[in-house]
Structure 1
Amino acid sequence: MTSGEGPEPHDVRSSLGRNLTHGMLDALGRAIVTGVYTDKRFPTEADLASQHGVSRSVTREAVKMLTAKGLLSARPRQGTIVQPAESWNLFDADVLGWLLERKFSLGLLRHFSELRIAIEPAAAELAARNAGAGGLIAIRAGYARMVAAEAGEDDSLDADIAFHVAILRAAGNPFFAQFEDVVTTALRSSIRFTNRFKGRSADLAAHGAVLRAIEARDGLAAQHAMQQIIADVLALILAREHDDT
């Protein structure tokens, strides 16, 4: 390849990994969600195949998968069109992962937190009532990891996620467990915000209050303690949004 030229097709193709269809899915999905195609016409299947050095069948399958996720739509005489964010399946694990790669947005973080405060306090209340021995062990293990993280012996974000996910699972309701990807993504996004503006991540004492309430089978206390954790973050977000206006 000479200077000034774009990458050869086989070079682009190798960047997609061994599974070309999922590589195309990831590359195109990330580009759409991060705004690469904002105010631009989405390429045709032939153009995409040429750009990425893959067959049109690979491109076609990736486009079908993105359409199923709400990112694209095909319209007669208009071709394939990027859909507005309101149409995306925001509970899809891939879409959530791509959202993390967008430019940081207080608005998105507020939306995550508003959803969390509607879901997680109720999950904590259910966990206090329904958690079995395994569920309690997992919640305690998540909290123990948070304690270890405070001493620099574990990753603070992974530990925080483990605690919250354990509560969703311990609620005993499969619909709550389906929010695991959303809560994980929200925490990965909010940790950067709280570290930047608050100088720390999770409040260990507040999380300990949730654990103790669940262990005591006190649903109302568990609900209130979890609500307070998320409300504190939401209040900080709203304050920053107000300052930025």
Structure 2
Amino acid sequence: MLPSSRPAAAEIDDDQTPTRRPRVRKIVTRALAADICGGAFPPGATLPTENDLCLRYGVSRTVIREALKTLESKGLVVTRSRVGTQVCARETWNILDAEVLDWIGAQILDFGLLTNVLEARRAIEPAAADLAAQRATLQDIADVEHAFAAMRDSGGDLERFTEADVAFHVALLKASRNQVFLQLAGIIETAMRLSLHASNAVADLPGEAIEAHGALVEALRLRDSAAARRASGHILDLGERDTAIALQRGTARPSLT
């Protein structure tokens, strides 16, 4: 929580220091969102009045209003006349937004997001692999292969491996040459990074994942749609196994950078 004090509020007054407002707004938005995600203001609750929020976070009404607009745009709150600002049900939150995932933080396990991302990938990636084997350009395949090489050469560095893993699956979706899949790549990238980091962190045999990804690259090279679909399914099987382990151990924590 930001300290509430008259000097702090005066220091960031909108009229006196307008250039500071974007930074202050971001800090206050994050603090208010963290309180919502952490349960201080649970779904269905009505937020305190603007004046009370000003005192709570030590900022002006303008900053509070701008913070609330940001939260409303991401589905966390809704403002109604004569009712006030209420916290929305979690189902309305823009759970794929990078900022929202950051705000949720350690509470991510309560949202079932890791399992949901895996389910979505099961519906999308085998079909994308099938199409990529048929449609991918040589450059598309090179991009997938480059990401695979980065995975293979990560030297046991979890962060490097995960970033390469994300790049691999994004490149695969793009290689499908399906415009919807291409758009989905950008939408789910952050959530996929979180999911893959969790599963990669507990993988006892990372060589399994490297071998499975290599098989998919080879299927794309050979233009073998059936083999590409099978390889994608195997990758997801490994991900499901490791995600279950991460959830059981309670080690699935956000890593968005």
Pick from 116, 122, 127: which aligns with 1:122? 127
1:146 matched to 2:151? The reply is yes
CA distance in structure 2 between the partners assigned to 1:99 and 1:221 by the alignment: 38
In structure 1, the partner of 2:182 is 177
Which has the higher mean CA deviation after the structures are superposed, 48-57 or 99-108?
99-108
Pick from 209, 226, 229: which aligns with 2:232? 226
Which has the higher mean CA deviation after the structures are superposed, 125-134 or 114-123?
125-134
In structure 2, the partner of 1:208 is 214
Kindly report which structure 2 residues correspond to 1:51-66, keeping only aligned pairs within 5 A, or say none. Answer: 51-66=56-71
1:89 matched to 2:78? The reply is no
CA distance in structure 1 between the partners assigned to 2:131 and 2:223 by the alignment: 9
From the superposition, tell whether residues 8 and 242 of structure 1 become closer, same or farther in structure 2 (CA, over 3 Å).
Answer: closer
Consecutive unaligned residues of structure 1, counting only runs of 5 or more, are: none
In structure 2, the partner of 1:67 is 72
Quote the offset at 1:46 in angstroms. Answer: 2.6
CA distance in structure 1 between the partners assigned to 2:4 and 2:65 by the alignment: 22
CA distance in structure 2 between the partners assigned to 1:120 and 1:162 by the alignment: 14
Quote the offset at 1:187 in angstroms. Answer: 3.6
Q: TM-score of the superposition, structure 2-length normalised?
A: 0.76
Asked whether the equivalents of residues 100 and 189 of structure 1 are also in contact (C-alpha less than 8 Å), the reply is no
Kindly provide the CA deviation profile for residues 191-217 of structure 1, in whole angstroms up to 9, marking residues without a partner as x: 334533x43557100011111111222
Kindly provide the CA deviation profile for residues 194-241 of structure 1, in whole angstroms up to 9, marking residues without a partner as x: 533x43557100011111111222222212211221133325556888
Pick from 12, 26, 30: which aligns with 1:22? 26
Pick from 195, 199, 220: which aligns with 1:189? 195
SS in 1 for 2:96: coil
SS in 1 for 2:223: coil
Asked whether the equivalents of residues 106 and 241 of structure 1 are also in contact (C-alpha less than 8 Å), the reply is no
Q: Give the AA of the match of 2:237.
A: A
CA distance in structure 2 between the partners assigned to 1:175 and 1:10 by the alignment: 51
Kindly provide the CA deviation profile for residues 58-117 of structure 1, in whole angstroms up to 9, marking residues without a partner as x: 221221222121110113332111111111123333223434542535833211111111
Aligned length: 238
CA distance in structure 1 between the partners assigned to 2:35 and 2:235 by the alignment: 34
Consecutive unaligned residues of structure 2, counting only runs of 5 or more, are: 13-19, 251-257
SS in 2 for 1:149: coil
CA distance in structure 2 between the partners assigned to 1:221 and 1:11 by the alignment: 62
Q: Report percent identity of matched pairs.
A: 33
In structure 1, the partner of 2:35 is 31
Q: TM-score of the superposition, structure 1-length normalised?
A: 0.79
Asked whether the equivalents of residues 148 and 154 of structure 1 are also in contact (C-alpha less than 8 Å), the reply is no
In structure 2, the partner of 1:47 is 52
1:107 matched to 2:112? The reply is yes
From the superposition, tell whether residues 105 and 74 of structure 1 become closer, same or farther in structure 2 (CA, over 3 Å).
Answer: closer
